[in-house]
Structure 1
């Protein structure tokens, strides 16, 4: 029986601090994925703006494009398909990141349920409110002292 509980102990973190570290790591991963999605969605938006700006123009018109840090001269006819391909590729990456995000969120929810983790937002707000007031008081005191 001791060996069964010992093998079960290997699967689970040994103490609360290890559980907390794992939980914070999972939340950090989610945050990083959100950040990556935001960045890539902004790039998709920028690609769309470029496509919409150059699409109605004459296809033989001169166009400049940055490739690997080098500005090259091309025509709109050459650049437009490349920008469209890049946009499509970015959209695919964003789609995959959303899938990964959903898996990670599900994993985090299961982790929270397994270890009965609850986020106490009321305490965070109270503590955060006190900290903000403390910071504001410090700034006001400093400002009042410097103006006298």
Structure 2
């Protein structure tokens, strides 16, 4: 059982270790990527809904159509399906708007985290003008490492 115990790390009064800072930053970026991925899925679904709505508007209301609900194909009439699709489209628009706001907030949180811990990316963040020589020498020896 002693092999299963987790190490308890004591935090120094100075703050988190560089590894904890990097892990926290990577976690924030992963969350942002997940949100962006979900946003893409919802936008694709919204576009599909719009295409179906446009198609069904030109069809007789009493004509049969098929709708996939939870993996089950159901037979309905156009007049029953069209209002549901329009409602779903409006809800998807609201969800996409909220998700965009959440992604923006996450981006601000990531930028604040970067500023708080002075996280720089080699090649992306240009060296500062006042300590240009020191920065170039120190980044050449580090390689492609996220440094705090």
TM-score over 0.5 (shorter chain): yes
The residue number in structure 1 matching 2:23 is: 21
Instruction: Output aligned runs, 1:27-106, within 5 Å.
Output: 27-106=29-108
d(CA) in 2 for partners of 1:118, 1:75 = 58
The residue number in structure 2 matching 1:110 is: 112
d(CA) in 2 for partners of 1:91, 1:9 = 47
More helix by share: 1
Flag the 1:43–1:9 CA change in 2: closer, same or farther, 3 A. farther
Candidates 110, 118, 121, aligned match of 1:119: 121
Query: Which structure ranks higher in relative contact order (CA pairs < 8 Å, sequence separation ≥ 6)?
Result: 2
d(CA) in 1 for partners of 2:68, 2:61 = 18
Q: Using the TM superposition, give the Cα deviation of residue 8 of structure 1 relative to its aligned residue in structure 2, in angstroms.
A: 9.5
Q: Using the TM superposition, give the Cα deviation of residue 90 of structure 1 relative to its aligned residue in structure 2, in angstroms.
A: 1.3
1:31-75 Cα offsets, whole Å, 9 max, x none, are 111111011100000000100111111111111111222211111
Q: How many residues get paired? A: 117
Give the structure-1-normalised TM-score. Answer: 0.72
**Structure 1: segments with no counterpart, 5+ residues:** 1-6, 129-148
**Structure 2: segments with no counterpart, 5+ residues:** 1-10, 125-138
d(CA) in 2 for partners of 1:107, 1:72 = 44
1:83-108 Cα offsets, whole Å, 9 max, x none, are 11111111111111111111111111
Give every structure 1 segment of 4 or more consecutive aligned residues whose post-TM-superposition deviation is greater than 3 Å. Answer: 7-10
CA RMSD of aligned residues (A): 2.3
